[in-house]
A = this chain, B = another copy of it.
């Protein structure tokens, strides 16, 4: 697909009433090149968008989705499992599709089944939409599976070590500990996510079994799937709405040379407008309400131990922002259009 800056595309969102859908709505409403068409939302159909999200400036009303294909581009922001049935018809109709769920991320159906507790067809895989790793494939793609929020914060923090030519040495072990904002759990009515339960709190969950794990492994290449490879991921939620802060403990097979590793990271991301390799410590507030992923090498020791810290906004670089970034690349637009 090619495009000039004056060309307009029509875009619709299926599953628009959740938090990622609302961020997509906000971004698409002010995007310079696309025109927001329909917002589909099952349980909220018939309600005004501004009733649910008064901060959004629009008169649109949520619609019921029943197979419409009038727009050029469809974003899907549905609960896991629900996109599997909708995407094939959209693809058959020649539509550009960007799916934010986990339904089309994993090449291995066995891993999908294990982590999502759900069957899927072996060809239900789409181009993995992480521009910093797969920009060329995304440029050619018509269907994108948008990465998970934790996965984005972890893959971007590790990719130079795994995919950057081995300049830093081989990685023997990785332990990831991530704190996520509670919006990552979606627009929820669970008691355990109520303000009274989550204010002044931190809680881990799904330790070692989180569904973003295989997606991380897959993106980092075959060395990561080696049974000898020690990878553990501990997701947590804390007292914040937006943001993911990941602490990545890495063990190299040789002394960690901080300067060389920083240079490797800068080189790896030199053309990535949304990744910032920072010399100062990063924190969630630095990236909240932005599409940036900040990366900081916090520790590098002669024993081979390293600590890399990354920060993203889970709803932007971890969801809606990255989805629009993918759309921009697919349409041949400036990668940052509507995102700065």
The quantity of this chain's copies bound in the complex is 4
Q: Min CB distance, A330 to chain B, in Å?
A: 23
With A195-B195, A240-B239 as known contacts, state yes or no: A204 contacts B281, CB within 8 Å.
Answer: yes
Q: What's the Cα separation between A276 and B191 when bound, in Å?
A: 24
Cβ-based interface call for A199 (8 A): yes
Q: For residue A276, which residues in chain B have a CB less than 8 angstroms away from its CB? A: 54
Q: For residue A51, which residues in chain B have a CB less than 8 angstroms away from its CB? A: 280
B301 touches A208 (CB 8 A): yes
Q: For residue A303, which residues in chain B have a CB less than 8 angstroms away from its CB? A: 227-228, 230
A230 touches B251 (CB 8 A): yes
Q: What's the Cα separation between A204 and B157 when bound, in Å?
A: 15
A207 touches B240 (CB 8 A): no
Q: What's the Cα separation between A316 and B311 when bound, in Å?
A: 25
Q: What's the Cα separation between A128 and B19 when bound, in Å?
A: 38
* Residue from B188, B201, B239 within 8 A of A194 (CB atoms): B188
Q: For residue A185, which residues in chain B have a CB less than 8 angstroms away from its CB? A: 196
Cβ-based interface call for A245 (8 A): yes
B196 touches A299 (CB 8 A): no
Q: For residue A254, which residues in chain B have a CB less than 8 angstroms away from its CB? A: none
* Residue from B196, B227, B247, B282 within 8 A of A234 (CB atoms): B247
Q: For residue A337, which residues in chain B have a CB less than 8 angstroms away from its CB? A: none
Q: For residue A181, which residues in chain B have a CB less than 8 angstroms away from its CB? A: 196, 200
Interface string of A179-193 (1 = CB under 8 A from B): 101110101111101
B340 touches A201 (CB 8 A): no
Q: For residue A298, which residues in chain B have a CB less than 8 angstroms away from its CB? A: 204, 207-208, 234
Q: Min CB distance, A140 to chain B, in Å?
A: 29
Q: For residue A251, which residues in chain B have a CB less than 8 angstroms away from its CB? A: 173, 230
Cβ-based interface call for A278 (8 A): yes
Q: What's the Cα separation between A309 and B278 when bound, in Å?
A: 30
A249 touches B234 (CB 8 A): yes
B203 touches A200 (CB 8 A): no
Q: Min CB distance, A271 to chain B, in Å?
A: 16
By beta carbon, the residue of chain B nearest A279 is B51
Q: For residue A288, which residues in chain B have a CB less than 8 angstroms away from its CB? A: 55, 200
Q: Given A179-B202, A199-B240, A234-B299, list of 17 further CB < 8 A pairs?
A: A54-B278, A175-B305, A177-B249, A179-B236, A189-B189, A193-B194, A195-B239, A200-B242, A200-B284, A200-B285, A201-B283, A202-B243, A207-B307, A207-B309, A227-B303, A230-B304, A232-B307
